[in-house]
Amino acid sequence: MKVSSVPDRCCGSGVCVEIAPEVFDLDDDGFVQVLAEAPAPEHESATRDAATRCPTMAIVVDD
């Protein structure tokens, strides 16, 4: 799994950080920052959930 973001789409809701804080954070401007581009297997489910629940589809997950 590889995770990336599209910062221009991010609205700063923080849903991703709430769901997968090991993988996502918000930068100083309040936009998504990927902490782990290749999350550990135990974080993959939460990462997919965060991507699905992102209100602006700013998170991209590639298998």
pLDDT value at residue 51: 98
CATH no., domain 2-56: 3.30.70.20
What does the block give as tokens for 48? 């997919």
21-31: pLDDT as tens digits: 999 999 999 99
Q: What is the DSSP letter of 9?
A: G
Gap between the Cα atoms of 39 and 45, Å rounded: 10
Whole-structure pTM value: 0.93
pLDDT value at residue 16: 97
9-25: pLDDT as tens digits: 999 999 999 999 999 99
Under a CB-based contact definition with an 8 Å cutoff, are residues 3 and 36 in contact?
yes
Check whether 7 has a pLDDT greater than 90: no
Domain boundaries, the chain: 2-56
Query: How many CB atoms lie under 10 A from the CB of residue 52?
Result: 12
